[in-house]
Amino acid sequence: MTEETATPPTPATVEDVMAVLRGVIDPELGSDIVDLGMAKGAVIEPDGTAVVTIALTTAGCPLRAQIQNDVRARVASLPGIAAVRISWTEMTQEEKAAAMARARWNVREDAPATAVPPTTRVICVASGKGGVGKSSVTVNLAAALAEQGFRVGLLDADIWGFSVPRMVGVEGRLQGVHGEKKIVPHRRDVGSKGGRLDVVSMGFLVENEDDALMWRGLMLNRAVQHFLEDVRWADDLQYLLIDMPPGTGDVQMGLARMLPQAELLIVTTPALAAQKVAARAATMARKSYLRVCGVVENMSAFVAPDGTRHEVFGSGGGEALASDIGVELLARIPLEAAVSTGSDTGSPVALGVGPAAEVFRALASRIVDEIVPPVDMSGCSARLLAAFDDALDRADAAATTNAS
């Protein structure tokens, strides 16, 4: 039996770099840096270094670090890119006015594609196939983030296989806002630091969990679109975790189109067969110019009370997948009965004690500190757009006065 040789991916082009930069959203203006004219261009040097020129609205922009991290992470995820260097410059007054005008147009005339705030960090939790515990990882990571005091949205986009309501311990039909065509998420307060979960799922729209949804592609995509456009996601939402359906179908492609700023976290098991299937999710993400932020190996070794390890489902799948797609293995979730028990009773194990709880808390800390840090708006000039509007209003008023 001969070993299959993987075909190396085609090296990225300048067009690929500019395309992936559309996933970098200026948190203050709410549009991507290409649309705003901040991404001036890119060059790929012979040694694989991508040099990206970024113009800021002001040289001292406090969001510079946020933009820098996003640019580096997304461009570095492209095949053939060995390093990323950013050349900083500052917009001219004319360019700044054009960017403000574009942002103003997007806000007032061309409504954003979703109701998800631009400052919200979006993490899509994906897998190549079902049965790897993807929903469990999504719910427990969301709970661990909320326990740290973050405001976390939890969107169950696994339309056919919805299970999040039971796992979170929230039930009841979703309600609308009086006088508005908006859906209000169910809310669960978490921990003592002011954290919370805002949860939306198809499970809140059916009579019971046993109901089967026999929907095809267009209906599935439309349901997810409703959850992104017609839900009143809170303005202070810091993270949105999306439990993706397994595979690489219509819903995944639709989410990639509607949320270009999203990061993809891939869940696999220790079995090497699962790793091969999960690699397809990474391929889909990169073809859609999404960043793969890491791998989580679920159902890792079972640790007995005496400390011995038992690799029930094999070993090496998480490491092999991470190495294959060029990202980090962020966590190994141990095989522990409390994980499934917590999912069945609406008590996420991440909020309890034990080996799995410790790993989920550590994973949440890595997400916050290194992998997908929250947007820090403190000290930013959030009045830029308002100031621009005020200037236009004063100019209009002056023109009216002169005309009269």
Q: Give me the torsion for CA of 20, 24, 30, 34, rounded to 10°.
A: -50
Residue 39 has pLDDT above 90, yes or no: yes
Instruction: Say whether both 246 and 332 belong to one domain.
Output: yes
Share of the chain above pLDDT 90, in %: 49
Decide: 40 and 53 in contact? Cβ < 8 Å.
yes
Instruction: Say whether both 208 and 277 belong to one domain.
Output: yes
pLDDT digits (tens, 9 = 90+) for 284-334: 888 888 899 999 999 998 877 776 778 888 788 899 999 988 899 999 999
Instruction: Say whether both 55 and 188 belong to one domain.
Output: no
Which of 63, 86, 111 finishes a domain?
A: 111
Specify the pLDDT at position 383: 45
Average pLDDT over residues 253-273: 87
- Decide if 116 is inside a domain: no
Decide: 221 and 254 in contact? Cβ < 8 Å.
yes
Decide: 282 and 264 in contact? Cβ < 8 Å.
yes
Which of 111, 142, 159 finishes a domain?
A: 111
Higher-confidence residue of 149 and 98: namely 149
Average pLDDT over residues 162-181: 84
- Decide if 322 is inside a domain: yes
Instruction: Say whether both 47 and 94 belong to one domain.
Output: yes
Single-letter code of the amino acid located at 310: H
Structure-token pair, residue 153: 């949205």
Distance CA 308, CA 314 (A): 15
- Decide if 399 is inside a domain: no
Specify the pLDDT at position 112: 52
Distance CA 332, CA 310 (A): 14
The region that residue 316 occupies, defined by phi over 0 for left and psi between -120 and 50 for alpha, beta otherwise, is left
Question: For position 44, which CATH number holds?
Answer: 3.30.300.130
Residue 391 has pLDDT above 70, yes or no: no
DSSP string covering 88-103: EEE--HHHHHHHHHHH
- Decide if 1 is inside a domain: no
Q: Which range is least confidently modeled, 51-60, 209-218, 279-288?
A: 209-218
Instruction: Say whether both 39 and 176 belong to one domain.
Output: no
- Decide if 255 is inside a domain: yes
In the three-class reduction of DSSP (H, G, I as helix; E, B as strand; rest coil), residue 63 is classed as coil
Instruction: Say whether both 36 and 178 belong to one domain.
Output: no
Specify the pLDDT at position 211: 60
- DSSP H or E segment with residue 155: strand 151-156
In the three-class reduction of DSSP (H, G, I as helix; E, B as strand; rest coil), residue 199 is classed as strand
The set of residues, in sequence order, having a beta carbon less than 8 Å from that of 279 and lying 6+ positions away, is: 128, 321, 324, 325
Structure-token pair, residue 110: 């061309």
Question: For position 310, which CATH number holds?
Answer: 3.40.50.300
Instruction: Say whether both 87 and 133 belong to one domain.
Output: no
What one-character DSSP code corresponds to residue 177?
A: P
**Number of domain units in the chain:** 2
Which of 90, 111, 132 finishes a domain?
A: 111
Instruction: Say whether both 129 and 233 belong to one domain.
Output: yes
Segments forming the whole domain that contains residue 54: 14-111
Instruction: Say whether both 37 and 127 belong to one domain.
Output: no
Dihedral sign (CA 77, 19, 251, 106): positive
Closest CA to 258 of 231, 296, 283: 231
- Decide if 392 is inside a domain: no
Closest CA to 251 of 133, 162, 112, 158: 158
Distance CA 178, CA 297 (A): 44
- Decide if 41 is inside a domain: yes
Distance CA 185, CA 203 (A): 12
Axis crossing angle, helix 355-366 with helix 337-345, rounded to the nearest 10: 80
Single-letter code of the amino acid located at 72: R
What one-character DSSP code corresponds to residue 143?
A: H
Task: Quote the mean pLDDT of the chain.
Answer: 84
Instruction: Say whether both 174 and 263 belong to one domain.
Output: yes
Distance CA 216, CA 250 (A): 9
Residue 31 has pLDDT above 80, yes or no: yes
Instruction: Say whether both 104 and 137 belong to one domain.
Output: no
Q: How confident is the model at residue 362 (pLDDT cuts 50, 70, 90)?
A: very high
Higher-confidence residue of 68 and 108: namely 68
Higher-confidence residue of 218 and 340: namely 340
Instruction: Say whether both 91 and 153 belong to one domain.
Output: no
In the three-class reduction of DSSP (H, G, I as helix; E, B as strand; rest coil), residue 30 is classed as coil
Decide: 91 and 125 in contact? Cβ < 8 Å.
no
pLDDT digits (tens, 9 = 90+) for 89-117: 999 999 988 888 887 776 555 445 688 99
Specify the pLDDT at position 109: 52
Q: How confident is the model at residue 148 (pLDDT cuts 50, 70, 90)?
A: very high
Decide: 270 and 297 in contact? Cβ < 8 Å.
yes
Specify the pLDDT at position 382: 45
HSE of 196 in the Cβ direction (CA atoms, 13 Å)? 13
Distance CA 336, CA 309 (A): 12
Average pLDDT over residues 329-355: 93
- Decide if 44 is inside a domain: yes
